[in-house]
């Protein structure tokens, strides 16, 4: 995440890492399951409340991380734009299931692609190599 922050801040964007980063003693409590789920959810909601866009860094293990799907679903329910970004040098990693239902776009690690996605100029889904991957879900239409 720090490299994404650096990449985009050079282009004038204010980026905050809203992941839960615990001090060692608190991390041990998390690892032992001593922190209630409600507490973790509250912290995650607070950390993402300020954002207009939630960026999910897509790495080899992202799909299996405990809170990723909940964060994506919560971001969607809060009306946040959700962008998946393959980590630098990433390849065809398995995606978190919630991303299939809620992602606005998925792009490769490239500042222009990421900025276009944030600004809504690019809503295409890309494979890690930058080629078109097709949408993850069908567009929603309605008739009045």
pTM of the model: 0.76
Question: Contact 106/130 with Cβ under 8 angstroms?
Answer: no
Specify if 15 maps to a domain: no
Reported as a single tens digit per residue, the pLDDT across 94-126 is: 889 999 889 888 888 888 888 888 888 866 666
Q: 144, exposed or middle or buried, with CB in 10 Å at 0-12, 13-18, 19+? A: exposed
Residue 56: closest CA among 83, 80, 78, 76: 83
pLDDT at 142: 42
Our count of domains for the chain comes to 2
Pair (43, 105) in one structural domain: no
Place of tokens 């001090």: 23
How many residues are recorded in the chain? 144
Pair (68, 38) in one structural domain: no
């Amino acid at each position: 995440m720090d490299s994404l922050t650096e990449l985009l801040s050079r282009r004038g964007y204010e980026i905050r890492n809203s992941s839960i980063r615990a001090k060692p003693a608190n991390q041990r409590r998390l690892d032992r399951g001593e922190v209630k789920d409600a507490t973790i959810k509250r912290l995650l909601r607070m950390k993402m409340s300020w954002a207009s866009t939630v960026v999910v860094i897509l790495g080899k293990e992202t799909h299996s991380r405990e809170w990723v799907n909940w964060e994506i679903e919560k971001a969607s329910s809060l009306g946040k734009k959700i962008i998946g970004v393959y980590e630098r040098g990433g390849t065809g990693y398995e995606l978190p299931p919630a991303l299939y239902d809620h992602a606005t776009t998925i792009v490769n690690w490239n500042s222009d692609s990421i900025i276009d996605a944030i600004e809504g100029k690019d809503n295409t889904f890309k494979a890690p190599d930058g080629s078109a991957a097709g949408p993850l879900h069908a567009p929603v239409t309605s008739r009045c």
